[in-house]
Structure 1
Amino acid sequence: MYQNVLLPATAEVIKKIYGVSFLQQFYLSGGTALALHLGHRESEDLDFFTPDTFDPQHLQSEVQKIGQLDSAEIAEGTLNAFLDTVKFQFLHYPYPLLEPTTAWEGLALSSVIDIACTKIITISMRGSKKDFVDLYFLLKHYSLQELFEKVGQKYQGVNYNQTHLAKSLIYFEDADAQPMPRMLQHIEWEEVKTVITQSVKKMPFAL
């Protein structure tokens, strides 16, 4: 794993939560997990998913025992907050893992392909620049056709439109105005857009 992708505060929080019992039902996903796998950019947020239901208020009380908890937001199956200035999320995520998690520093890390599927869904709802950058690097490992097939496997029973998903991947207007993430593997934003657009155009359905 590329531990150099972690900002110091995030690395310290990971040390603090090492071995805590409530994390046993969660796995780390999202941008930080992907950066640990690929080493392409720095990342600081921690996104923990679980297929199991949990009590966010009880979880909040457990997290408070570890460090300074701020700006906590609770909803059904969700806890968002900052722990020692590091933004994190605990989320009930009822979709199956396509591949086993990887053990690292006492955490379970989601696989690259599972993170890729989640990224595509995230972009379809409103992608940030870092999400598109992540997709660019994912396309070095998988074709977009492969990713769409995996999305279909992961989200079986979910009503989504492939054409809509594909169109969302080339809607860059909001992301254009955002800053680039802190890159460890240099890439220009225009190349990110070009590669993703070319990949979408290769899909076997008309936009």
Structure 2
Amino acid sequence: MQENILRPEQKSDLELLGRIPEIKQFYLAGGTALALQIGHRYSVDLDFFSVKKFSTARLLRNLQSAPTCIKQSISKGTLYVLLNGVSCSFIAYPYPLIDEPVSSPWGIQLASVKDIGAMKINAIGGRGYRRDFVDLYCLTQIRPLPVIWEDFKKRYSGTGLSLSHVKKSLVYFSDAEKDPLPNMIKRVSWKKIREFFEKESKDLSI
């Protein structure tokens, strides 16, 4: 576990969250969960997902037992808070994991790199932030893009997603280029990332 990617306040948050019973139904995903496993960049926020529905009001009450918790927004199946100044999201996400989650020192489950890769492709198919391309590229250094693509198709099968649209999104960079690069540990070149996806996405099967 690459704990060096976390700020002290994030570690404190994970320790706190690991003691809240409702968190047991969630898993940590996104760039932070990936960075904890491959150590490619520093963490920014904490994104939690649950396959099951949950009470946002009850979870918020438990989180507000911490004096550093500030509610940002709440709606059905979605809760955003600041915890020790760290942005934390809790989202009902009805797509089952395709791999066993990974244990952490804080008693919190992490999505595996297999599931995170699938989620990153799905995110790029929506509105691809630069960090999504960076994360996916770094993951391809240990898991080939065609394999991640098959993970994506498996996880989101039956959802009606347009595979041709998602495939085209892997080479659509206009929105991503409005964003800064994440705070990296491993050096990457945006030019190299673009060239990689332009070349490697051509042969992905739809």
TM-score greater than 0.5 by the shorter chain: yes
- Whether the 8 Å contact between 1:30 and 1:119 is mirrored in structure 2 is yes
TM-superposed CA distance for 1:42, in Å, is: 0.3
Give the match for residue 51 of structure 1.
51
Structure 1 segments (4+ residues) deviating >6 Å: none
Deviations 1:170-200 (A, max 9, x none): 1111221321111101111111111121111
Alpha-carbon shift at residue 99 of structure 1 (Å)? 0.9
- 1:94 alignment counterpart: 94
Instruction: Quote the residue 1:160 is aligned against.
Output: 161
Distance 1:103 1:67, change over 3 A: farther
Query: How far does the alpha carbon of each residue in 1:76-125 deviate from its partner, in whole angstroms, 9 at most, with x for none?
Result: 11111211110011111111111111111211111001011111111111
Corresponding residue of 1:136: 137
Task: Give the letter aligned to residue 162 of structure 2.
Answer: N
Aligned to 1:79: 79
Flag structure 1 segments of 5+ consecutive residues without an equivalent.
none
Q: Cα 1:165–1:140, aligned 2, differ >3 Å: closer, same or farther?
A: same
Q: Distance in 2 between matches of 1:200 and 1:69?
A: 42
Aligned to 1:66: 66
CA distance in 2, matches of 1:204, 1:62: 45
TM-score, normalised by the number of residues in structure 2: 0.94
Q: 1:141 and 1:122 mapped to 2: Cα distance?
A: 20
Report the alpha carbon displacement of residue 18 of structure 1 after superposing the two structures with TM: 2.9
Aligned to 2:181: 180
CA shift for structure 1 position 9: 2.0
> Aligned-pair distance for 1:162?
1.5
- Distance in 2, matches of 1:204 and 1:50, equals 29
* Aligned twin of 2:31: 31
Query: Deviation of residue 47 (structure 1)?
Result: 0.9
Query: How many residues were matched structurally?
Result: 205
Correspondence for 2:8: 8
CA contact (8 A) 1:143 1:199 kept: no
| SS of corresponding position for 1:173 | coil
**Could you say which residue in structure 2 is the equivalent of 1:151?**
152
For 2:193, the equivalent position in structure 1 comes to 192
Alpha-carbon distance in structure 1 between the residues aligned to 2:102 and 2:143: 19
Distance 2:49 2:120 in 1: 14
Distance 1:99 1:55 in 2: 26
Task: Rate the CA distance shift 1:172–1:10 in 2: closer, same or farther, 3 A.
Answer: same
Structure 2: which amino acid aligns with 1:155? Answer: Y
| 1:5-47 deviation digits (Å, cap 9, x = unpaired) | 1122212211222322121111111110000011000012111
* Contact 2:101–2:109 (CA under 8 A) maintained in structure 1: yes
Unpaired runs of at least 5, structure 2: none
TM-score using structure 1 length: 0.94
Alpha-carbon RMSD: 1.4
